Amino acid sequence: MKRLVVAVVLSAALLANAGGAAADPASDRDMASRYLQAAQSGSDDAQFYLAALYSAGVGVPRSDEEAFRWFSRAAEQGHSHAMLILSGLYAIGRGVPKDNIQAYKWAYIVGSGSRVEEFRNGARQLMGLLETRMTPDDVNLAKSNAARWHATPSNRPSQAVTPAAVQPAPVAPAASAPAPAVSAAAPQPPAPQAAKKNDTDDLMNQIPALRKKLGF
């Protein structure tokens, strides 16, 4: 049941508009290159969608670590959609070691500040789950960390909690993901925990629908 709640939160946040056919590889690579350019230039929306592509392996080699990196960058700019996904990734240990305090921190920020009701509800569900795993001191620490957080300044608004494009790197079907240029402040993902991702794999594999939604 706990893993199901996390899967539901992740699917509701990331795949609300999914539902298209898979694109051809050349189009996927072109789409990923466009997002990479915009993401490296600081667009939080592009960072979010690039992370989703890495998570599903669409247009780029599949990489939970790169997905975590780009979701983190978008979240640090105040992108509430990315924050909720990031909370779920910390909760299940996908692309990053499991960390309930970090998971609760990001969920608390979304639950308290997002203007999107669906995200607030998902965050509160996840917080309720995490509270069953955490001590009161852990919860208080997570809330304190959330209170000290401030979005990284940016020059374009988005669907963020607080107001929030690159030389394209060649995308090839290699075993490891390309290494996008990142700023010194960008979070660097540690090694992931083993195999705690089956509960969201089927959901993430629907990401090709983003291509249809965004017209690439």
Tens of pLDDT, residue by residue over 74-125, are: 999 999 999 999 999 999 999 999 999 999 999 999 999 888 999 999 999 9
Q: By mean pLDDT, which of 22-26, 129-133, 182-186 is the weakest?
A: 182-186
Strand partners, 79: 160
Residue 77's pLDDT is: 95
Give the model confidence (pLDDT) of 125-157 as tens digits: 999 999 999 999 999 999 999 999 998 755 444
Length of the chain: 216
In a domain, 201, yes or no: no
Residue 23's pLDDT is: 59
The number of folded domains in the chain is: 1
In a domain, 210, yes or no: no
Overall average pLDDT of the 49-71 stretch:
96
In a domain, 79, yes or no: yes
Tokens 């993401």 correspond to 39
Tell which phi-psi region holds residue 147, choosing left (phi > 0), alpha (psi between -120 and 50) or beta: alpha
In a domain, 100, yes or no: yes
49 neighbors 214 (Cβ within 8 angstroms): yes
Which tokens in the block code for residue 6?
Answer: 């996390």
**Full-model pTM:** 0.66
Determine phi and psi for 72, rounding to 5 degrees: -60, -45
Range of the domain at 136: 1-10+73-164
In a domain, 98, yes or no: yes
Residue 147's pLDDT is: 94
In a domain, 150, yes or no: yes
